[in-house]
Amino acid sequence: MLSRTVGAAIFIVVAMFVWHSFGGGQSSAQAGTWYHGADGYEQALAQQKSSGQPILLYFHTEWCGYCKRLERDVLSTPAFEQRYGSLLKVKVNPESSSAEHKLAKDYAISGFPTIFIVSAGTPGEPIVGYGGADEFYSRLQQAARN
């Protein structure tokens, strides 16, 4: 019985190593994935410098009902991924650490959700609040053009 347990444990460790080695644990954002926090923002900025891709920077909190609706109705949908999957996407919760709080202060965040399109390291006008998917897509499309 003990040898089966040891064998299963070794299998799990090897499987996790292979998964991590071949991309399962990568920190770089792929289509459909998000960077997180201030460190994720720095990673996205570095990737932006090499790729030229714009960044979608999303400030949210856990208690924000409009943030939850935005994530459910827009950000987690296949339609959003189809339209904006090429953007580098970063989620920042200013309440999770002092680094995230400082980033929100640097962007003068006064309400949630707030989204910026950052092109060439320069943020556009913020999209503040959420009034429904159609309105949000319209505002996001306008922000992406500028």
CATH number at residue 36: 3.40.30.10
* One domain, residues 18 and 81: no
**How confident is the model over 112-140, as a mean pLDDT?**
94
In the prediction, which pLDDT does 30 show?
A: 52
Please tell me which residue, 86 or 3, carries the higher pLDDT value.
86
Is the model's pLDDT at 19 over the cut of 60? Answer: no
* One domain, residues 7 and 77: no
Which residue has 């999209």 as its token pair? 127
Q: Are 56 and 87 in contact (CB under 8 A)?
A: yes
State how far the Cα of 100 lies from the Cα of 39, in Å rounded to an integer: 9
Tell me the pLDDT of the chain averaged across its residues: 83
Q: Are 45 and 55 in contact (CB under 8 A)?
A: yes
* Residue of 45, 64, 99, 144 marked active site: 64
Is the model's pLDDT at 32 over the cut of 90? Answer: no
Is the model's pLDDT at 88 over the cut of 90? Answer: yes
| Residue range of the domain that includes 133 | 31-145
* Residue of 55, 67, 70, 117 marked active site: 67
| CA dihedral sign of residues 115, 118, 121, 124 | negative
* One domain, residues 22 and 76: no
64: annotated active-site residue: yes
β-strand 35-36 against 55-59: which pairing, if any? unpaired
Q: Are 74 and 106 in contact (CB under 8 A)?
A: no
* One domain, residues 90 and 103: yes
Which letter does DSSP use for residue 35 in this model? E
* One domain, residues 20 and 64: no
- Spatial CA neighbour of 44 closest among 130, 103, 112: 103
* One domain, residues 59 and 84: yes
Domain count, the chain: 2
* One domain, residues 91 and 41: yes
50: annotated active-site residue: no
* One domain, residues 35 and 24: no
